[in-house]
């Protein structure tokens, strides 16, 4: 005889219902782990590229004005790390929203400063030196990691929304 799980009320237990709840729980758990792992990988990669890019900024003496420095600290560095931490908790949706917004903001900021505006921060303004090469390569690396990060945030947010919609439909049948 099958033993009913402890979390199912005696009167509400049905083997088919139990199987469906188990399937949804298993999908949600693997989805949470999968999304958290991907988010962690891209945020760590983004952080490492940012560290190298920051070193290139320092060595080439390319400073940022105070508002740009605050933006870089809050949006480019801290927000993705906070988003990564939230994705591992029950606040996954907030983490994914924060990841999407911070990576998109970082992408637009970096694209504008490194590729559009003629300034000391532009990739074509860098000298043909080792640190100039590091600056250019990491500017492209930031562009790539931020695009992937923004995509992952939206992608896993979409999956989380779809999964929660399926759960609601099953509960009301």
pTM, two decimal places: 0.76
Q: How many CB atoms lie within 10 A of CB 136?
A: 19
9 belongs to a structural domain: no
156 belongs to a structural domain: yes
- CA atoms of 82 and 153, how far apart (whole Å): 13
18 belongs to a structural domain: no
User: pLDDT truncated to tens, each residue of the chain (173 aa)?
Assistant: 555 555 545 555 555 555 444 444 555 555 548 889 999 999 999 999 999 999 999 999 999 999 999 999 999 999 999 999 999 999 999 999 999 999 999 999 999 999 999 999 999 999 999 999 999 999 999 999 999 999 999 999 998 777 767 655 555 55
Nearest C-alpha neighbor of 107 from the set 37, 154, 63, 60: 154
11 belongs to a structural domain: no
117 belongs to a structural domain: yes
| Alpha helices (H) in the chain, listed in sequence order | 15-59, 66-71, 79-87, 92-111, 130-171
14 belongs to a structural domain: no
Contact 52, 140 (CB under 8 A): no
pLDDT, tens digit, 9 for 90 and up, residues 120-165? 999 999 999 999 999 999 999 999 999 999 999 999 999 877 776 7
The domain of 120 spans: 24-171
110 belongs to a structural domain: yes
Domain count within the chain? 1
- What the block records as the tokens of 133 is 């090469």
pLDDT (0 to 100) of residue 169: 57
């Amino acid at each position: 005889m099958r033993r009913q799980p402890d979390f199912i009320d005696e009167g509400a237990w049905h083997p088919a219902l139990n199987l469906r709840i188990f399937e949804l729980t298993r999908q949600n758990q693997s989805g949470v782990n999968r999304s958290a792992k991907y988010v962690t990988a891209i945020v760590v990669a983004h952080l490492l590229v940012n560290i190298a890019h920051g070193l290139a900024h320092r060595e080439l003496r390319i400073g940022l004005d105070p508002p740009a420095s605050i933006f870089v600290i809050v949006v480019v560095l801290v927000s993705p790390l906070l988003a990564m931490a939230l994705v591992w908790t029950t606040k996954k949706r907030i983490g994914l929203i924060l990841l999407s917004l911070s990576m998109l903001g970082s992408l637009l900021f970096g694209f504008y400063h490194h590729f559009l505006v003629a300034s000391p921060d532009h990739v074509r303004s860098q000298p043909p030196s080792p640190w100039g090469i590091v600056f250019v390569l990491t500017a492209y690396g930031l562009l790539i990691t931020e695009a992937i990060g923004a995509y992952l945030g939206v992608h896993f947010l979409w999956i989380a929304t779809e999964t929660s919609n399926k759960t609601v439909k099953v509960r009301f049948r």
